[in-house]
Amino acid sequence: MDARYKSRDIERRSLDVDGLKRSFLEWLVYSVGKDARAATRRDWFHTVALAVRDRVVDRWMDTTRSYYHEDAKRVYYLSLEFLIGRLLTNSLSNLGIMDECRQALDRLGLSMEDVVDAEPDAALGNGGLGRLAACFLDSMASQGLPGYGYGIRYEFGLFEQRFENGWQVEYPEQWLQFGNPWEFARPEVLYPVQFYGRVEEFRDSVGERAYRWVDADRVLAMAYDTPVVGYGGDTINTLRLWSARATRDFNFGHFNDGAYMKAVEQKILSENLSRVLYPNDATETGKELRLKQEYFFTSASLQDILRRYLQHHTSFDNLPNKAAIQLNDTHPAIGIAELMRLLVDQHALRWDNAWEITRATFAYTNHTLLPEALEAWPVRMIERVLPRHMQIIYEINAKFLNRTKAKAAGDNARLSRLSLIDERGERRVRMGNLAFLGSHKVNGVSALHTDLMKQTVFNDFHEEFPDRINNKTNGITPRRWLKQANPALSELITTRIGQGWISDLSQISALREKADDVVFREEFRRAKRKNKKRLAAYIARQTGEEVLVDSIFDVQVKRMHEYKRQLLNVLHTIALYNEMRDNPTVSWVPVTKIFAGKAAPSYHMAKLIIKLINDVAKVVNHDPSVHDNLKVVLLPNYNVTAAEIIIPAADLSEQISTAGMEASGTGNMKLALNGALTIGTLDGANVEIREHVGPDNIFIFGMTADEVNDLRATGGFNPREVIASNPSLKRALDMISTGAFSPDDRNRYHPIVQALTDGGDHFLVTADFADYCQAQDAAMQLYRDQEEWTRKAILNTANMGWFSSDRTVNEYAEEVWDVHPVHPNHEGEGYR
């Protein structure tokens, strides 16, 4: 090889300050096409990202090659959402070249923060489910597990939220507008995906009945690959996202008709498939385009998985030993019918053989028990959009029900509950039942949620297949959520216990004994204060509001949803406001109520709650009689980047859902790990957080899931009575209903008051109010004793080790996937 190229190659990978600086300048000029004088911050971001990407590519290829050579079993994580956030800090930090990069930029007269801030936030997800997928990618790569993410490359991620006159307004989120330096387009990795058409029956070569799907519309799925850098940079995995491309098989008939433009228009429309992420969190809208998105990415992914498998194998018998496919909720569950179709129709396997392989390959994670979120597609829609799949689903169902009938002994109610088809009203396919039946393992995402799955939605299936349901309590990656988001605390931790915690979070338990060390407590407080200052500056920039750094930062950040009960928090805010006004001479512990979260654009109640928070903020923040004792802020456009600023600064973590409704929560874990004390119900993973941090270090209140269940079952709950017997609750509600916060429109909040009273208060806000206020009081009193508060905060951080997504992913790897770490061979290339 030409020596000049070789030396350039080495330079491309060099990780020292000089090498980085030289390569930044080279990228800026030759790829971004600017000189240093004309370059904007965005140009520098692209420059740095491209230079960093260079340092990843060799190791990425080594990793992929190692998996190939070892014919390792891979896990494929199919998810309609990956809420990744920014990648620059993540890549630098996982490669271990953060300081070098900062210095290189410094020598160019640039600030690292400015460059980092020019990166758009990749928001290809709505909330917890999508962020979990992103944490899993980080954990799989960090532990050397051969894991691939498969999803959709949405052109528009989750909408940008702005407040106009206090109301949420949605704007398109154009994260790709200026290009995406992290991804590699793969125009040669292209799979056809079909829709509509009809099914033709014929006799195969041995005279058996066989089927083919004909006269269908076609689109192409084109791959874009993003390297997923594991901690330490040894393993670089792949996130493969599909983009819809029109096929070129034009109908020449149209040309002759002079309908050329019409043909082209149809082609262009087919690319809408990957245009936009549906903005509903835990609700299902039943839109045909959504079904098509689900099938589009699932089919492309399965074709890709089979192609990779067939590089080493000629029969499909080994597929379950070489591929584990995890369904992130039911969104990719149509994949079960699709794999059957591919095996039976395209590869001529016998049905029973194909079914055995399919079931052994798939596993399914359930993320919610909310009935409105359980996907059920109208039979008529699937018949039209995916006619062959509808036949396959009927066949799976018939075989299953026939087998079960013998045992069910005439229990028709049970059989109809087990059926894949819901026959009540318009006939629908229950995707949860399909996912359950087509998987060898089915899991919930916290201990409580998994128990409730067994008792409720999957009760009959659990009796039928008692070994299938298992629990995998969620986790979060300590790299992004402690090391990167909270440098102040992570540096402190590392000085005391070393840096082992970054890749093995269980080691953070060594901090327990430091809780009694006054010097450490002082330093811990100092780190928190630094983060609070950073957040206060952010709040001022975003809302114009000045908040007191020494107040309790009481934080509720998550999607706006009635079951998450932001309303309970608002009612307490109003009650506290009244108390402070009534007792101006009392020395109050100052409180800053911090909210953030998006509402689904069509979720009117959630949008009204946003407006209420903004209205309450306006009144409270401008009332001189409460001074600085109470401030309310609702930060716009909550996303991963905002979370990285808010979470490290929190004192109190609001996890106050109606018990039994939050499957797990993961924000609860991020906040506790960053030293916030939780105020929460016994719901989702809060239950396990209490077990780990200890009941003395968490504020638990409210009804349990069992109590909620009993209360609802007996129908004996009357919110009017509860309100009448609680003066502070009554006063707060009266203020809302008489327009104290909406003098311009006194009836504005009628729907909210209605829901909490005559509506029956389905989410039991009023039922938990008194207990919640007591827990809030206890928190405020504790905050007066800063030593005691800090001690508990440290114990929270120290006891959260188990909630690392490394632990979660290892449990999946051992108990569901049977995949094992592979150590890539990097010998061929010099890394440093």
Catalytic residue positions, numbered: 367, 558-559, 564, 666, 670
| 368 binds ligand GPK, rule: CB under 6 A | yes
Residue nearest to ligand GPK as judged by C-beta position: 128
Write out the E strands in 184-260. 184-195, 198-203, 209-214, 217-229, 236-246
φ and ψ of 3, to 5 deg: -60, -35
CB of 613 to ligand GPK, least distance (A): 20
147-152/236-246 β-pairing: parallel
List the one residue out of 640, 337, 351 whose CA is nearest residue 480: 640
Minimum Å distance from CB 670 to ligand GPK? Answer: 11
Distance CA 797, CA 675 (A): 5
Question: Which amino acid is located at 15 in the chain?
Answer: L
Tell me the closest approach of the beta carbon of residue 598 to ligand GPK, in angstroms: 12
Question: Does the protein bind ligand GPK through residue 661 (CB under 6 A)?
Answer: no
> Which of 55-63, 122-130, 294-302, 514-522 is the region at the interface with ligand GPK (rule: CB under 6 A)?
122-130
Residue span binding ligand GPK (CB under 6 A) among the ranges 175-183, 367-375, 379-387, 524-532: 367-375
Give the residues across from 210 on adjacent strands.
202
- Establish if 330 lies at the interface with ligand GPK (CB under 6 A): no
List the one residue from 105, 663, 679, 693 that touches ligand GPK (CB under 6 A): 663
3-state secondary structure of 556: strand
Position 445 contacts ligand GPK (CB under 6 A): yes
Alpha-carbon distance of 789 to 770, in angstroms, equals 23
For the segment 470-529, give every residue that binds ligand GPK (CB under 6 A): 474
Is 332 a binding residue for ligand GPK by CB under 6 A? The answer is: no
- Segment 369-398, which members bind ligand GPK (CB under 6 A)? 373
Instruction: Say whether residue 684 binds ligand GPK (CB under 6 A).
Output: yes
Structure tokens that stand for 70 in this block: 């070892």
C-alpha distances out from residue 209 to 202, 205, 349, 353, Å: 6, 10, 12, 16
Q: Which is nearer to ligand GPK, 329 or 651 (CB)?
A: 329
Task: Give yes or no for residue 666 binding ligand GPK (CB under 6 A).
Answer: yes
Q: How far apart are CA 478 and CA 494, in angstroms?
A: 13
Q: How far is the CB of 668 from ligand GPK (least distance, A)?
A: 8
What's the closest the beta carbon of residue 756 comes to ligand GPK, in angstroms? 22
- Give min distance, CB of 684 to ligand GPK, in A: 5
Choose one: 481-489, 568-576, 664-672, 757-765; the region binding ligand GPK (CB under 6 A): 664-672
Contact 662, 564 (CB under 8 A): yes
509 Cβ contact list (under 8 Å, min separation 6)? 798, 799, 801
Using CB under 6 A as the binding rule, whether residue 671 contacts ligand GPK is answered as: no
- In the complex, the smallest distance separating the C-beta of residue 478 from ligand GPK, rounded to whole angstroms, is 17
Compute the least distance from the CB of residue 220 to ligand GPK, in Å: 28
Taking CB under 6 A as the criterion, the residue among 28, 78, 92, 129 binding ligand GPK is 129
How far is residue 679's CA from residue 672's CA, in Å, rounded to a whole number? 10
H or E element: which one contains 616? Answer: helix 604-621
Binding of ligand GPK by 282 (CB under 6 A): yes
Q: Which is nearer to ligand GPK, 285 or 747 (CB)?
A: 285
Write the interaction track for ligand GPK spanning residues 746-765; mark x where CB under 6 A is met and - where it is not: --------------------
Rounded to a whole number of angstroms, the minimum distance from the CB of residue 51 to ligand GPK is 34
Which residues, including other chains, have CB under 8 Å from residue 742's CB and lie 6 or more apart? 615, 748, 749
Q: Does 277 bind ligand GPK (CB under 6 A)?
A: no
Indicate which single residue of 121, 160, 173, 281 sits in contact with ligand GPK (rule: CB under 6 A). 281
Residue 424: exposure state from Cβ atoms within 10 A (0-12, 13-18, ≥19): exposed
Cα separation, 91 vs 668, in Å, equals 25
Nearer to ligand GPK, 85 or 128 (CB): 128
Size of the site for ligand GPK (CB under 6 A): 19
- Nearest CA to 656 out of 753, 574, 761, 768 is that of 768
Shortest approach of ligand GPK to residue 576 CB, angstroms? 27
Q: Give the whole-angstrom CA distance, residue 288 versus residue 299.
A: 16
Q: Is 128 in the site for ligand GPK (CB under 6 A)?
A: yes
* 367 forms part of the interface with ligand GPK (CB under 6 A): yes
What's the DSSP call for residue 676? P
- How far apart (Å, rounded) are the C-alpha atoms in residues 81 and 297? 11
Smallest separation, CB 107 to ligand GPK (Å): 43
Per-residue binding string, ligand GPK, 446-475, x by CB under 6 A, is: ----------------------------x-
Of 182 and 803, nearer to ligand GPK (C-beta) is 803
Torsion angle (degrees, nearest 10) of CA 640, 642, 648, 653: -90
Binding range to ligand GPK, per CB under 6 A, among 19-27, 546-554, 661-669, 695-703: 661-669
Q: Which of residues 563-602 bind ligand GPK (CB under 6 A)?
A: none
Give, as ranges, the residues between 792 and 821 that touch ligand GPK (CB under 6 A): none
Judged by CB under 6 A, the stretch of 123-131, 411-419, 582-590, 782-790 that binds ligand GPK is 123-131
Angle at Cα 700 formed by Cα 695 and Cα 706, nearest 5°?
110
Stretch that binds ligand GPK, among 90-98, 121-129, 166-174, 271-279 (CB under 6 A): 121-129
Residue with tokens 């596993």: 363
Contact between 665 and ligand GPK by CB under 6 A: the answer reads yes
Contact 534, 632 (CB under 8 A): no
Q: For 241-257, give one letter per residue: b (16+ CB within 10 A) or e.
A: bbbbbbeeeeeeeeeee
How many CB atoms neighbour CB 204 within 10 A? 10
List residues binding ligand GPK (CB under 6 A). Answer: 126-129, 132, 281-282, 329, 367-368, 373, 445, 474, 662-666, 684
